[in-house]
Amino acid sequence: MDKYDVIVIGAGHNGLTNGAYLAKSGLRVAVLERNPYIGGATVSRELHKGWFYSNCSYVCSLLRPEITRDLELPRHGLQVVPYGGGVTMMRNGDHFGNYHDHDRQYREMARFSKRDANAYERYAADVMKQTRLIRPFLLKRPPDPTSLKLRDLKDLAEFAGAFLDMGEEGLADTIRFWTKSVGDYLDEYFETDVIKAHMAGSGIIGTALGVYSPGTAYVLLHHYMGDVDGNVGEWGFARGGMGAVADALAKSFQSFGGEIICDADVDQITIKNGKTTGVALKNGNEIGAPIVVSNLDPKRTFLDVMDPADLPEEVIKKAEKFKIRGSSGKLNIALDGLPTFNNLPNDSPLRVGEMHFSDSLTRLERAYDDWKDGTWSKDPYVDMLIPTQVDPTMAPPGKHMMSVFVQYAPPKIEGEEWTDADKDGFEKSVLDQISAYSPDFKDLILHCETRTPREIEAEVGLTEGNIFQGELTFDQLLFNRPFPGYAQYRGPIKGMYMCGSGTHPGGGVMAAPGANAAREILADLKRPDIIPGGYADD
Amino acid sequence: MTNYDVIIVGGGHNGLICANFLAKTGKSVLVLEAREAPGGCAATNEIHPGFNVSACAQWLDLLNPSLIQELKLEKYGLQFAAKNLKTIGLNSDGNHVFLSHDSVDGKNISDEDKTSYIDFKVKMLKYAKLLKKVFESRAPKLVEHNWTDRITLAKLALGMKFLGKEDMNDLMRLILINIYDVMEESFENQNLKALISFDGVMGGYMGPRSPNTVFNFLYKLVGETYGYYGSSQIKGGMGALGESLAAAAKDAGVEIRLGDRVARINKTGSRVSGVTLDDGEVIYSAIIVSNADPFSTFNNLLGLRNIEAGMARRVTQIRRKSGTAKLHLALDTAPNFLGLDSEQMGQRLVIAPDMNYIERAFNSVKYGEYSPTPAIDISVSSLNDETLAPSGKHVLSAIVQYAPYEPDGGWDVHRDIFAKNSIDLIEQYAPGIKDSILSHQLLTPKDLESIYGMTGGQWHHVEMTLDQVLMMRPFPGASQYGVDVDGLYLCGAGTHPGGGLMGLAGKNAATEIIKRGSEA
Amino acid sequence: MNENDVMMLKTPFHSRVEAACEINLWGNWMGYTTPDAYFDVELEYFAVRSTTGVFDLSPMNKYRISGPDAAHFLDRMMTRNMHKLAIDRVAYVVWCNDAGQLMDDGTVFRLAENEYRLCSYAKANDWLYWCSLGFDVTITDETAEVAALAVQGPTSCSTLTAMGLEGLEELKPFDIRNYRFDGEILSVSRTGFTGDLGYELWITPSKAEDLWDRLFEAGKQFLIKPFGSHALDIARIETGFVQAGVDFVMAQDLIRPGRSRSPLEMGLGWLVDFEKTHFNGRRALLKERETGSRYRFVILDVDGNKPADHSFILKGDKQVGNVTSAAWCPTAKSNVAFAQIEMPYGEFGEELTAEIYYERELHWTRVLAPCRVLDGPVFNPGRRRQTPAVAF
């Protein structure tokens, strides 16, 4: 008899969530992690003594509150602190501040355009309509539109019902929203370029598309549908860095008897007679279990840790065609002090939120052109935060940690692997951009960790360094995620499942894929469903 | 007071088709066309004494064959000068790619690519057939549907089911992604990929990497389900199509007035009452059908003040950008394209060496610039039709992508440079052509707008993108030809299913008007 | 960041308002610091009903609409016939989206041939822009450029006359008359939100403080008092005025389908002129008139003295509606509630039940209070309309 009922490959947040629910149900679960530390891309690492970097994911909003409560993550140490708003620095020396406070936000927008300030309310209501439509389906498996099974038909009816409730024009608007570019969408509301540019960033983060590429409006929505304490669309910092999310999940998992095994690099999922039998590790060990759940991305799952002979050809083809293009990089910087920014007082609340330096949609689109040409953006879009302004645990007192997310960085440079010189060039373009608005920034840098898609793939194991484990375009969402026919977390082989962000509802540290996958596994084992559903009338 | 049962604003192909069908039911129909010739974009124009070109649209590959039959267009003079033309992807080294509907050939084309092409076409045609069905009737409403819509929806569902689970799944994926990725996963040869992907970006404001390009490709492929196994050319130029439609219409009792530009669509009370012409003449009718593009219909003719404000917002937000220009050359001698014999030179010739080339050409237009090295679709039409040019002389027409509506500084500053760039580019593939040019004509998107009235110069009136098709075409709330103004209908390319000289928009609109009858 | 934008905005009367606000109870109205109450809500309310109350109206959104098409523009936007509005007259208006759902209500002032001012509850820059397409009009947000006071109550005419506004008593309801005030124009309209005799004063911000001072000086003998938003709320409920955002969801803010209301459903059908052949929402409203409304707006007289805030309205055991506003009305001595009732319930005179929850010393009690549908507001005094205006 096997020592474990379930093996989960990968101790990312979804693997841990999945393991936690299965362990809570009474199963014997081991989560295997290749690295000596857990978390996957939800991690805090001390790469410079005294500084803890959230060196992959860096902010928190999408983590399902139902899971946070159900797995008692606050009791296990998770604390999420919201931050207010953000700012886009402008080339003309001005800036646009996206204040957290409604009236201040209105006044700031009105400084550029009173119409825009008022149109923002229409924009917020319209985005909220879409958010409300999608949120109830985050903690559900996607319905299979081609299935005639009762449960699928019921799911589908519920899904269709939610859409039909919107009325003819509402439904048309929804379809348009899902197929539109974020640039075109924002053009329908706003006239001021910097306001559009500030909003548009959310539409391209982690995505190999430009602001005028259809499909990016949904990506914007994806970043809008989370909440902090019920404030939909708000983002926060995990105190101690994003590793705090993984740590809390790990403690929750362990409290249910789950085991985490680090330095366990899986070579292959073993299959016998069409059934999953466990995993073989790179060090030669084998661990048996009738159920294996992969938290890896779909390409790694099917093309790396599985034997092609075990798989139907169509699955291999689909995995090959799966779009998981690398498009982002990251700089994590230890600072000797708080940098000053032109015309932005050090105590401005705007500095606590995200800072951007792209003040027009044209600049964002040109940044994408560089990616298409196989090079990093010379004038990149950056999403920069200094969490140590509200979280004292990530750097020594008086010192600061800066997290800089960078769009775009291609997986390869003009078809060739990244070289260290390329990496330096990439780093320079980012540092130059920030220092153009902050004269003392460069002098304050004590240490800088630069991660191109090459590093992200090598360390975290995300193919091409894609942060969402696969692009969040409509062709890869819902019942198409990761690909049609396999969107309900079950792999093509009995006993094999998927629980990563490559499955519905996707990436962004939601933990929903892990929980949804656990529900399907428990259903197959005829065990009671212990996964929470979404809150009503969100 | 009513002079006519129906007035149709604009004698483009859809307007004429709509007029034909309405007249057949005994309605008195007046078509008002601003230009001196019928057909709109189906036009023949003399660019140099004795040299005639298809001024706007140059290939016919979508016209619904039922229209040719039902309206007996052949009887009214419609003749094909060439049919089922191959598409030839020009390569500067002379190793061209020869693409026909069921095979691909060329020195650098691998056997794998040859097989893949057949598989690719078989699959894509399945999807095109599905579209074909959906195009035959008005776009169904999804929530407030009635029986007509339900039948369309059921047909669609059945068609999807008929595809089988695998193909249906793949359709849902493909329809949303870009043709660049589809080409990458299907073929090896760069030239072949570019050639096919060009059909996905033709006439659109998009590059191969833009999502929606697969849909655009499938739209064009619907022509193949009609029996157009390649592009075809109309004898006497595309204007002959307009002439035949007009002749058929006149026989059916339609009155056509050319050179009469409608200045305004008049509204009395809550419904339309007629039109006012440029010269002030007022003509009355309780039903007005606009063949003009939706934006200009509401913005210029009816006036946004005469519709409700939410609808006005939707009208102004119609995406209607174009990146397509037209270049015509009158040639003293036959051109000599490297590596092609004279029969091959009469086919459809495309300059688009690889997909990144097209994508870069598109990059320019995003920033209001014209492509330094555009992608070009060439028709040496006189090789297939002697009537177009004096004996021994020739005309060449080209679709040139991309050109902005208006570059910084205006076209006056840039027109000659852009034309010269394009001609220089053609010269690379057809040495000597420059010296034989008697005259040339460049039609920018702005020119196309001012001559043919299409806002933005957009061929399809309303960009063919997934957020602007079916029940979203031209905008939500106006998808079934009728709009929220009593008596006003749309019948142009901006309505379902779209443009490209397909003609179904005009026919479907007529069906809808007849069906609504007295309610209209 | 403009440092001035950090704080909440202050109205041009702020120095005087602040001094008068004895209990320091402030609220946020459209981003402005405004008093919820000055000294005592009940006494402030009675100043309006018995003497003169003054309310700082400056944060009200004000738009100047001018140009040759101004009247046509307004006529298309509003459900009323705006061509009938004469110069120096004011009209209460509502406007709808294309679906015939209420976006907001407000007042339109015709200042000159092609000059209008629209006062709206919510900001309307976006919708005004879309409505302006195709019209030769200029729309300017003049909220900050016009200071305004509401002077309301039986002695308001006497007060203003004492301040030197001669002939004011001849002003009919919804009339406008302009006076000189220190070289500037003081515009006075016989309008208000209290249902009593009252006026609204409009002036350039630089003269605001002087106006306040002169007004209170002149009104001393007529027992003038300032009043805040809490007192105003009682007055407007008593007199049957609905408030956007409270008694109906503004359609542009709607997130959940079906929760907006049409003017017909809000009892504002009298503002809809179907004789007009074109206005925003007409097609949808015509259809509603033919096929019937979903809801009915009613004013209820509720038994007992417990305000029916947020109550469910029952017909027998069936829940048929919700209360949106409720108050004990001190002058009319009525317990009034505004409610939205599902059709076909809520006809005049119908007996319904309000399910009221109220708290006394941390003890919650549920009462089922019988209530009746009224045919109009409980407070509607003759002096509100009487011209010439009465002295007291």
Task: Determine the distance from the C-alpha atom of residue C262 to the mean position of all C-alpha atoms in its chain, rounded to a whole number.
Answer: 18
What are the residue boundaries of the structural domains of chain A, listed by start? Answer: 6-42+55-80+240-322+475-524
CB atoms within 10 A of CB C339: 29
- Looking at this protein, which amino acid is placed at residue B381? S
Measure in Å the smallest separation between the Cα of C344 and chain A Cα atoms.
23
Name chain C's partners: 3 or more CB pairs within 8 A.
A, B
User: For chain B, which residues make up each domain, given as ranges?
Assistant: 4-81+236-319+456-519, 100-231, 320-452
C2 lies within 8 A of chain A by CB: yes
Cβ-contact C324, C339 below 8 angstroms: yes
Q: Read off the tokens for A450.
A: 């630069």
Q: Three-state SS for B375?
A: strand
Please report the beta strands in B73-113, taking only residues with DSSP state E, as ranges in sequence order: 80-85, 87-89, 97-100, 103-105
Identify the residue among C33, C255, C256, C259 best suited for mutation to test binding to A, counting A beta carbons within 10 A and taking the highest.
C255
Confidence at residue C4, expressed as pLDDT on a 0 to 100 scale = 46
Tell me what pLDDT residue B143 has: 83
Question: A339: cis peptide before it, omega within 30°?
Answer: no
Please give the helix or strand (H or E) that residue B274 lies within, else none: strand B271-277
pLDDT of C1 reads 43
Q: Considering chain A, what percentage of its residues have pLDDT values greater than 90? A: 84
Average pLDDT over residues B119-134: 94
Query: pTM for the complete prediction?
Result: 0.95
**Interface predicted TM-score of the whole assembly (ipTM), two decimals:** 0.94
Query: Residue B223's pLDDT is what?
Result: 97
Identify the residue whose tokens are 């940044």. Answer: A367
Among the partner-chain residues A114, A115, A128, the one whose CB lies closest to the CB of C255 is A128
Pairwise CA distance, residues B468 & B464, whole Å: 6
pLDDT digits (tens, 9 = 90+) for C27-82: 999 999 999 999 999 999 999 999 999 999 999 999 999 999 999 999 999 999 99
**Would you say C105 and C86 are in contact if contact means Cβ atoms under 8 Å apart?**
no
CATH of B4-81+236-319+456-519, one of 3.30.565.10, 2.102.10.10, 3.50.50.60, 1.10.260.40: 3.50.50.60
Element containing residue B440 per DSSP (H, E): strand B437-443
For A356-452, where are the alpha helices, taking DSSP H only?
A: 361-372, 420-435
Portion of chain C with pLDDT greater than 70, in percent:
98
Q: In what order do the strands lie in the sheet with C52-56?
A: C176-181, C184-189, C198-203, C147-152, C52-56, C224-226
Lowest mean pLDDT, pick from A194-203, A223-232, C345-354: A223-232
How confident is the model over B467-495, as a mean pLDDT?
Answer: 94
Which residue of chain B has the CA closest to A481? Answer: B173
**Each residue's pLDDT tens digit, A13-38:** 999 999 999 999 999 999 999 999 99
Q: What is the mean pLDDT of residues C12-25?
A: 97
Indicate the average pLDDT of chain C: 96
Characterize A281-305 residue by residue with b for buried, 16 or more Cβ atoms within 10 angstroms of its Cβ, and e for exposed. Answer: beeeeebebbbbbbbbbbbbbbbbb
Residues in chain C, overall count: 392
**C132 contacts in chain A (CB < 8 Å):** none
What's the fold here for domain B320-452? Answer: Guanine Nucleotide Dissociation Inhibitor; domain 2 (3.30.519)
- Comparing C-alpha atoms, which of C136, C153, C168, C4 is closest to residue C71? C136
Mean pLDDT of all residues belonging to chain A: 94
Whether residue C135 is predicted with pLDDT greater than 70 in this model: the reply is yes
Alpha-carbon gap, residue B420 to A154, rounded angstroms: 62
CA C185 – CA C187 distance, rounded (Å) = 6
CB of B63 closer than 8 Å to CB of B227: no
Domain residue spans of chain C: 3-58+146-227, 294-375
Closest residue on chain B to A315 (Cα): B166
Query: What DSSP line would sit under A85-124, residue for residue?
Result: -EEEE-TTS-EEEE-SSHHHHHHHHHHH-HHHHHHHHHHH
What is the structure's pLDDT at A537? 67
C77, C103, C127, C130: which to substitute to probe chain B, counting the most B Cβ within 10 Å? C130
| pLDDT value of residue B314 | 97
**How many helical (H) and strand (E) elements, i.e. helices and strands, does chain B have?**
16, 19
Mean local confidence (pLDDT), C10-21: 97
Q: What percent of chain C has pLDDT over 90?
A: 97
CA atoms of A187 and B435, how far apart (whole Å): 47
Q: pLDDT tens across A258-288, in order?
A: 999 999 999 999 999 999 999 999 999 999 9
pLDDT at position B160: 81
Residue B19: exposure state from Cβ atoms within 10 A (0-12, 13-18, ≥19): buried
- Closest partner CB to C252 (pick from A125, A132, A344): A125
Contacts of A537 (CB under 8 A, 6+ apart): none
Is the pLDDT reported for residue B520 higher than 80?
Answer: no
Q: What is the mean pLDDT of chain B?
A: 95
- Name the residue of chain C whose CA is nearest to A101's CA: C6
Closest CA to B206 of B442, B368, B366: B366
Given a cut of 80, is residue A444 above it in pLDDT? yes
Work out the minimum CA distance from C125 to partner chain A, whole angstroms. Answer: 5
| Stronger pLDDT, C18 or A146, i.e. the higher one | C18
Chain C hits for A350, CB-CB cut-off 8 Å, are: 1
Q: How confident is the model at residue A146 (pLDDT cuts 50, 70, 90)?
A: confident
Give the tens place of pLDDT for each residue, C174-192. Answer: 999 999 999 999 999 999 9
CA distance B478 to chain A (A): 10
Q: Between 3.10.20.30, 3.40.50.300, 3.30.1360.120, 3.40.190.170, what CATH number should domain C3-58+146-227 receive?
A: 3.30.1360.120
**Average pLDDT of the segment spanning A424-434:** 97
Of C98, C135, C277, the CB nearest to B305: C135
pLDDT the model gives residue B153: 86
Domain C294-375, second-level architecture: Beta Barrel (2.40)
B303–C134 CB contact, under 8 Å: yes
Q: How many whole angstroms separate alpha carbon B520 and alpha carbon B509? A: 12
Residue B167 binned pLDDT confidence (cut-offs 50, 70, 90)? confident
CATH hierarchy code of domain A6-42+55-80+240-322+475-524? 3.50.50.60
Q: Work out the pLDDT band at C5, boundaries 50, 70, 90.
A: low
Residue A37 sits at the vertex; the CA angle it makes with A35 and A43, to the nearest 5 degrees, is 110
Neighbouring chains to A with at least 3 Cβ pairs closer than 8 Å: B, C
Lowest mean pLDDT, pick from A228-232, A368-372, A452-456, C372-376: A228-232
The pair of three-digit structure tokens given for residue B316, joined into one six-digit string = 């102004």
Judged by CB atoms within 8 Å, which residues 468-527 of A form the interface with C? none
For B258-268, write each residue's pLDDT tens digit: 999 999 999 99
